[in-house]
Structure 1
Amino acid sequence: MTPTLVPHHPARDWAEIQERMLVPLYETVYDRLGVGARSSVLGLRCGSGLALLIAAARGARVAGTDDDLARLALARERLPEGTVSMAGPPEGDPYDVITAFHGTGPLTAGTASFTRSAQPGAAVVVAGWGPPERCATASVLRVAERLTGWVPGEREDGEELEAAVAAAGLRWEGSGRVACPFGYAGPDSAVRGLLSTGEFDAAVRATDAHQVEKELLEALEPYVRADGTVWMPNVFRYVIARLP
């Protein structure tokens, strides 16, 4: 395939293309925790706010934090004023559900800050990629390995979610796996969505965006269906823990 070099807008591409791929994860976790009208949900690294929007639709009070200004601006368009910020969660009643759906970074970096905002015994959820053999996207993520020597996503697999939970002083409660297939209208849409995840940022810095896009299109070829759409089955894993 020849790359089209369509201009990328990472925050907008995340919100419009990629974020929806994780809706099964969000819904499964909310179902398991019984998130509803009596819940208060705090999203760490909330991005453009889709997970919080889903919780709000269930009747929950929601708030979120993120250090990506562009994604945060999109979240503010979706959610009530004062819901999301860079500085930390808005003042108010403590939260009983805290989510880190996009890896353990917020957990390891900000345990003290979110602990102050949470009820004793609040549920804390962290999530990451499932086993590589059950994630078709793993083969596409290897583009970054070839260009930078780093395998994105594998750091959160296996026992490492539990290790992060233990390091944060939380009490492990349970875990689960959720099918989150990545489906795109076509290869160009897939490239834009995948680049918006941040998994390829280091590869872009190590080479250039055109080279990364070219290699992504080649890696996507096995997943392009007869109608031109792209379909990659994946499994994500989540861990639920409790604050003391």
Structure 2
Amino acid sequence: MTPTLVPHHPARDWAEIQERMLVPLYEAVYDRLGVGAGSRVLGLGCGSGLALLMAAARGARVAGADRDHARVELARERLPEGVAVTEAPPEAGPYDVITAFHATDALLPELVALTRTAQRGAAVVLAGWGPPERCATEPVLRVAARLADRRPAAGTDLDGLVAAAGLRPTGSGRVACPFGYASEGSAVRGLLSTGAFDQAVRATDLSQVAKEVEEALAPHVRADGTVWMPNVFRYVVARVP
């Protein structure tokens, strides 16, 4: 099979293709916490800023941080003037909602630093993949592990991360976030933009990874050429003690 890969621009592909797949998650969390006028929201790993834009549309005051310089630049372009988006997390005040919609264990030092100075009772939301058996994308992600010659990731232990950060868990939820793409090429670009395949690309090469991702997508390609993968994401709500 010849992959239908187009030029690879991870940050822009994330902003234009992939980021919108998590809109149901963002909405569910904001609804649960009552984010709106008067809320002060900090997004860790805010990507190109869609979740922050949605919070701002509800009337919240927002700020964000992401380690990816290109995504930070895109977030600054799309967010209202005056919204601070930086590569290093700002000081944790006076936010009452801190989100990490793409939580990983690597986030722990930032979480600990923020929660030490955050106001008491501030909500912290961590989110990640749901049970593998309810995520159609999980077999595709195994391609990344195989090509990088490492064990498949078990997913982030959200509850363990909450405990390690010294937070007080108060609840959790699951949200359906199907991944839908206009074509196989769009699906490949979107998935490669997540960062899950970066190590595989370094271990092999981009064209090989793209080819194998497209092959793994075959069961999810519909008769009209679109791609549809049902997924469930889980989030945990905690409070700063």
SS at match of 1:237: strand
- The alignment's TM-score, normalised by the length of structure 2, stands at 0.95
Structure 1 residues without counterparts, runs of 5 or longer: none
Out of 229, 232, 242, which is 2:226 matched to? 229
Q: Are 2:189 and 1:188 aligned?
A: no
* Mapping of residues 10-25 of structure 1, within 5 Å: 10-25=10-25
Instruction: Tell me, yes or no, if the aligned pair for 1:187 and 1:217 is still in contact at 8 Å.
Output: yes
Where does residue 87 of structure 1 map in the other structure?
A: 88
Give me the whole-angstrom Cα distance separating, in 1, the residues matched to 2:133 and 2:149.
Answer: 20
Where does residue 67 of structure 1 map in the other structure?
A: 67
Runs of 4+ in structure 1 off by over 4 angstroms are: none
Compared CA separation, residues 84 and 105, structure 1 to 2 (3 A): farther
Structure 2 residues without counterparts, runs of 5 or longer: none
SS at match of 1:121: coil
Give me the whole-angstrom Cα distance separating, in 2, the residues matched to 1:129 and 1:66.
Answer: 19
Q: What is the CA-CA distance between 1:71 and the residue it aligns to? A: 0.2
Instruction: Tell me, yes or no, if the aligned pair for 2:115 and 2:165 is still in contact at 8 Å.
Output: no
Count of residues paired in the alignment: 240
Compared CA separation, residues 173 and 151, structure 1 to 2 (3 A): farther
SS at match of 2:8: coil
Instruction: Tell me, yes or no, if the aligned pair for 1:165 and 1:172 is still in contact at 8 Å.
Output: yes
Compared CA separation, residues 87 and 148, structure 1 to 2 (3 A): closer
Compared CA separation, residues 145 and 104, structure 1 to 2 (3 A): closer
Per-residue deviation, residues 143-187 of structure 1 (Å, max 9, x unmatched): 11221233565321xxx1101100100001001100000000000
Compared CA separation, residues 135 and 31, structure 1 to 2 (3 A): same
Where does residue 52 of structure 1 map in the other structure?
A: 52
The one-letter code matched in structure 2 to 1:181 is P
Query: Percent identity between the aligned chains?
Result: 73
Instruction: Tell me, yes or no, if the aligned pair for 1:130 and 1:236 is still in contact at 8 Å.
Output: yes
Give me the whole-angstrom Cα distance separating, in 2, the residues matched to 1:209 and 1:106.
Answer: 25
Q: What is the CA-CA distance between 1:66 and the residue it aligns to? A: 1.1
- The alignment's TM-score, normalised by the length of structure 1, stands at 0.94
Instruction: Tell me, yes or no, if the aligned pair for 1:170 and 1:241 is still in contact at 8 Å.
Output: yes
Per-residue deviation, residues 179-226 of structure 1 (Å, max 9, x unmatched): 000000000000000000000001101111111011011000110001
Out of 168, 175, 180, which is 1:178 matched to? 175
Where does residue 168 of structure 1 map in the other structure?
A: 165
Per-residue deviation, residues 91-148 of structure 1 (Å, max 9, x unmatched): 9x50000000001346402134322553211000000100110000001111112212
Compared CA separation, residues 117 and 86, structure 1 to 2 (3 A): farther
